[in-house]
A = this chain, B = another copy of it.
């Protein structure tokens, strides 16, 4: 038996999502089929609403509903300390430690020639503009400990050091080959404490 077309279509859309295989997509589709109408509508609308109302911060490229994100708008954050991350999920991981009081810059990826991602695809130009216009004393480069993350960190380090700004990296408390997003808070706290010159 083939699935009815609308069901097959939903399964196809769900399968495109990261970490969702054919079997999970089927389970999720069946779950949605059994949802009360208003809950299915809430899910459907939440997807559209997030696309309509969330943009990226004009300064740091964090997600935001306004021109500047809540971190950039917060006068208590230290504008002289800048943490560079690849993705917003890495920013969120560091925020969960509640230990970091500086600001961020989201690169929107890492240098990855295999995936066709070069420096031009990342927010590197915007980072350099910030380093020239903002009172930044130190840049903490917080990349995932992968080949691409390391390459990106070294590239940025070479670019920033000549500007006379201190460049540090997170200590290797984060397990090699692991994912920043999955590190526990204690590991991230010690990685912040043990940061060193790059």
Question: Interface of chain A, helix or strand or loop or mixed?
Answer: helix
With A23-B182, A30-B87, A30-B88 as contacts: A9 and B46 at CB distance below 8 Å:
yes
Binds B, one of A11-19, A133-141, A168-176: A11-19
Residue from A1, A5, A7, A20 whose CB has the most chain B CB atoms within 10 Å: A1
Residue from A49, A50, A95 whose CB has the most chain B CB atoms within 10 Å: A50
Binds B, one of A36-44, A120-128, A152-160, A190-198: A36-44
Chain B positions within 8 Å of A2 at CB level? 70
- Measured CB to CB, the residues of A under 8 A from B are 1-7, 9-10, 12-14, 16-20, 23-24, 26-33, 35, 37, 39-54, 62-65, 69-71, 87-89, 91-92, 95, 181-182
